[in-house]
Chains A and B, each alone.
Chain A
Amino acid sequence: MKTAISGREKSIVKKGNKKKEILCDSDSLSGSVSQRACVYCGARVVLNPITDALHIVHGPIGCASYTWDIRGSLSSGDELYRNSFSTDLKEKDVIFGGGKKLSLAIDELVQIYNPALIFIYATCIVGVIGDDLQAIAKAAEKKHGIKVIPVESSGFIGNKSAGYRAACDSLLKLIAPEKPLETIPGSINLLGDFNLAGETWIVRKYIEAIGLHFHTAFTGDSSSETLKTATGASLNLVQCAGSMVYLANKMEEIYKIPFIRISFLGIEDTIGSLQTIASWSGDQLIQEKTDQLITDQLDGIEKEMKQYRTMFTGKKAAVYVGGGFKAISLIKQFRDLGIEVVMIGTQTGSKDDYRQIESLVGEGTVVVDDTNPAELERFIKQKGADLLVGGVKERPLAYKLGIAFIDHNHDRKHPLVGFEGAINFAKEVSWTLNSPVWEFV
């Protein structure tokens, strides 16, 4: 497709046009005004919900300042993760090295907070000035007798996905047991759920209701204790595959824990996921309980959903979100509400994700990877979208274009997973699409 920015052509496809695969998982183009954040951001998003971890950002102040308690992950216990610690490197540290300051910072923080676990994030300049985080972490572990794990998240080593991998590598270090754990039958880890507005708790409720054991989430409302027992689970569920499929693969390879991909966004995917889990168990009783859960839950929301299903007929949606699984579920969720997705894209979707996306959307739908405000504007107008799904940066653009907006990011304050999440989603669509404000526009 013709684009203003050269090099972006291969990242945009229109369904129905001659068959070509979208270019994705590549570095952002300079000057393209990508909506992506950096490696550090990717790593921090994944690890931040671990509630009893102390997160030290080794670098200048900005990286810690911009990520202090801006996410909506909830905790059932510790609140340490809601702080931002920075070594606040200055010019002289950049010249003479910041390693010593980091070691002293760890000593001070251990004395004040006595944490069970510390993550040290490398920022851009750390990768350049060459502070040896591995050695510093090792020395601190020995000195304080706690886990100190470096996260290789220098901003320039790749895009946000590289940050996900860095976080997963750090998690692998954390979960490694001293001696192999005994596998607990019917016990499940949930990977790629961050307990935004309590979403992990909703999934946990379902898992327990059908008679299985919920082990730990990666990483929503998890702690160093729950994560250390993760290798004793008998199944990994992978929701946000973009961030966690790497970890799932590694856990299968090292600990022989199989994984299945699921998604609890929207009614269709929630039902499908529950059924997949039940059939994995091979247990008749669990199957029955699952069917019962689905019936009960559907009964509970059916009346309300029915109202919403008639409200939005003929409306068109544009979707631009971080990961592939969200995009895929959203297509189905909108279809359930009678809304057609006319433009869709992700920051970090994989080739697999895009194949699924293309198979689900209608002819003529524009699919974009790592897009930017200029392209969003162009396709929203061209396709006549009435609504955009996105994050904080996309929201004002939608409003300036005079269309509705759905917040679908880590800042959300109401859960969007499961049956109750589907209702919340429909409600939000109605708040924005049916607002009287559009009468004046």
Chain B
Amino acid sequence: MNAKNVNINPCHMCMPMGGVLAFKGIEKSVVVIHGSQGCSTYIRRHIAEHFNEPVDVGSTSLNEKGTVYGGEDNLKKGLENIIRVYNPKMIGVLTTCLAETIGEDIKRMTETFIKDTGLSHVQIIPVHTAGYSGSHSEGFFSSVRRILENTVIPSEPNGKIGLIIPNISPADIRELKRMMKLFSLPYVVLPDFSDSLDGVYQKQYLKLSPHGTKIKDIQTMSGLKAIIEFSATLQDDLSPGEYMKKEYGVPLYRIPLPVGLRFSDQLISVLREISGKKAPKMLLEERGRLLDAMIDAHKHNAQGKTLLYLEPEQLYATISLLEENGVGIVLAATGSEYSTIAKKEIRQKDRLFTGADFDLIFKEAEGQDIDFAIGNSDGRVLTEKRGIPLLRRGFPIHDRMGGGRILSVGYAGSIQLLDSITNMILDKKLTSYRQQMTEKLLEPLKNGAESRGESYGDKI
């Protein structure tokens, strides 16, 4: 039977998780989670394990008194302590299930705090991230949107291109920036955690990363020449780019993540359109190399069958790469319920599942021949229980090194992803074909010989 009232082994996390990740991409910013102590600790633990980077997140440590009489005092004290220890330029105040349920008005509270303390060097961004109103993917985008709503001011055109990204890896962010540089286009990436979550070892440890999107660059995003937002599956009301378009008239291109040939081409064509320039030679060469790799591997890929579970934006883009390479998709799932991915053009729509948990993934995979799965570390149960090897992609990857260094975007990233996929298929085939052929072809010969009272291989 299918359980309807219970989630069995979750495939997604909660809103504040996405919020913390987003704020990690802003220079000298820190998050205070308004709620009980555990939320911040669990979130820190997961992020620290994926990136192997320290993640300091404050909690207002709400207790019984705060829950009954309101947590304003806790919030105020928490902000004071965080400012004293970290001296941040920006503080994200994220709510929790608890704070939302008791109806904490964090907007008013943070405004009062700023007014009472007269602080001018730190900006506080309140974000409603009740854990029960969305997954970490929605928490990520709504935090980015709130950062814009609270920071952007009218400004002169600056000729830069804005890139608004979903929860991709630091390596992916670096690749997008490289592509912009190859196009000689000035850019602002929001949020940019390419350094803060994949840091350089330095003699001097800094509690807060000085890297990330500069606040003055966020303020002047109203003067951008255009915004490219990788949000093909996002509801409009959560889209940071839609806000910028509506509020400041910034031209907006909402496209999928550039994973695979088609979606990478889409980014290049947008960049050509915005800049009026031709695509740089190096990117064209990389495109050629990707196509070459696709041709080299196409017969292997045609034999592959996979299942994948990712955040909506990564899911849509990875499906596209699999489709254009002829890899069979047994099922594609996301834990998020709110994405618009189901409205997208996907060949096997009947194999797409939103609001999924691992129980559903197991049931839908039952009896299917699957070579490998693509998704975060939680899918290790697929390997343990069904012997399905796992290509670790997405977040969190807590049982392997280098989660932050996995590259999947652009032509260069797509080559890496495609090679990994093809190699999973090859691995399955090359480690099983001898036994399969022996069973299928040799066993009947042996049995035949036996039935004739002979033994296979006897000299005639």
Chain B 32-55 per-residue mask, 1 if CB under 8 angstroms from chain A, else 0: 100111111111111011011111
Contacts of A402 in B (CB 8 A): 201, 203
Shortest distance from the beta carbon of B143 to any chain A beta carbon, whole Å? 15
**Is there contact, CB below 8 Å, between A377 and B52?**
no
Within 8 Å of chain A (Cβ to Cβ): is B56?
A: yes
Which of A106-114, A255-263, A295-303, A311-319 is the contact stretch? A106-114
A156-B64, A396-B48 in contact; A68/B10 too (CB < 8 A)?
Answer: yes
Within 8 Å of chain A (Cβ to Cβ): is B57?
A: yes
B3, B61, B84: the one within 8 Å of A109 (CB): B3
**Is there contact, CB below 8 Å, between B5 and A124?**
no
The interface on chain A, measured as residues whose beta carbon lies within 8 A of the other chain's beta carbons, has a size of 75
Interface size class of B (residues with CB under 8 A): 35 or more
Could you tell me the distance between the alpha carbons of A319 and B136 in the complex, rounded to whole angstroms? 33
B12, B53, B85, B133: the one within 8 Å of A65 (CB): B12
Within 8 Å of chain B (Cβ to Cβ): is A400?
A: yes
Within 1-34 of A, Cβ neighbours of B (below 8 Å) are at 4-6, 27-34
Could you tell me the distance between the alpha carbons of A84 and B358 in the complex, rounded to whole angstroms? 10
Could you tell me the distance between the alpha carbons of A27 and B66 in the complex, rounded to whole angstroms? 12
Across the A-B interface, how many residue pairs have beta carbons closer than 8 Å?
228
Contacts of A34 in B (CB 8 A): 37, 41, 59, 61
**Is there contact, CB below 8 Å, between A61 and B13?**
yes
* Chain B residue, CB-CB nearest to A395: B48
Contacts of A36 in B (CB 8 A): 37, 41
Contacts of B44 in A (CB 8 A): 393
B1, B6, B66, B86: the one within 8 Å of A156 (CB): B66
**Is there contact, CB below 8 Å, between B3 and A155?**
no
Within 8 Å of chain A (Cβ to Cβ): is B101?
A: yes
**Is there contact, CB below 8 Å, between B63 and A61?**
no
Shortest distance from the beta carbon of B372 to any chain A beta carbon, whole Å? 21
**Is there contact, CB below 8 Å, between A4 and B201?**
no
Contacts of A127 in B (CB 8 A): 67
Could you tell me the distance between the alpha carbons of A60 and B81 in the complex, rounded to whole angstroms? 29
Could you tell me the distance between the alpha carbons of A402 and B204 in the complex, rounded to whole angstroms? 10
Contacts of B130 in A (CB 8 A): 60, 91
**Is there contact, CB below 8 Å, between B67 and A128?**
yes
B1, B4, B85: the one within 8 Å of A5 (CB): B85
Within 190-232 of B, Cβ neighbours of A (below 8 Å) are at 199, 201, 203, 205, 207
Could you tell me the distance between the alpha carbons of A157 and B37 in the complex, rounded to whole angstroms? 11
Chain B 59-84 per-residue mask, 1 if CB under 8 angstroms from chain A, else 0: 11111101100000011011111101
Contacts of B6 in A (CB 8 A): 56, 85-88, 105, 108-109
A30-B78, A396-B53 in contact; A61/B12 too (CB < 8 A)?
Answer: yes
Which of A37-45, A189-197, A286-294, A423-431 is the contact stretch? A37-45
The 10 closest A-B pairs by CB, nearest first: A38-B38, A62-B14, A31-B78, A31-B81, A155-B36, A30-B78, A105-B6, A66-B42, A124-B98, A60-B132
**Other A-B pairs beyond A91-B132, A124-B101, 5, CB < 8 Å:** A28-B61, A62-B39, A85-B8, A155-B39, A395-B48
